[in-house]
Amino acid sequence: MIINTSRLQEFYRKLMAEENLSHEEALRIYDALHEEALAVGAISSENIWDGFEIDLRIARAMQGLKRARKVDKTHSRKAGRR
């Protein structure tokens, strides 16, 4: 968990200021990392989507929980004022 978000934001600001990658350089780095992942067997065209449906279900469930919490907070505030 990130506790000091201001320090993290400052880190990202400095990182963006210091890194001057062009789009082409960034794509070359991405391609190299992708090729390395394929070479070591971390990913393959066969397993790239494995578990995606489960991740999608979890994301939808978590989004539903966030909405439910917002509704609960709204109702609890109104109930507390009466």
pLDDT digits (tens, 9 = 90+) for 19-75: 888 889 999 999 999 999 989 988 877 777 778 888 899 999 988 887 777 777 766
pTM across the whole model:
0.41
Domain ranges of the chain: 1-47, 51-82
Single-letter amino acid code for the residue at 63 = Q
User: How many residues are there in the chain?
Assistant: 82
Single-letter amino acid code for the residue at 11 = F
* 43 contacts: CB under 8 Å, gap ≥ 6: 34, 37
Query: What is the tally of helices (H) and strands (E) in the chain?
Result: 3, 0
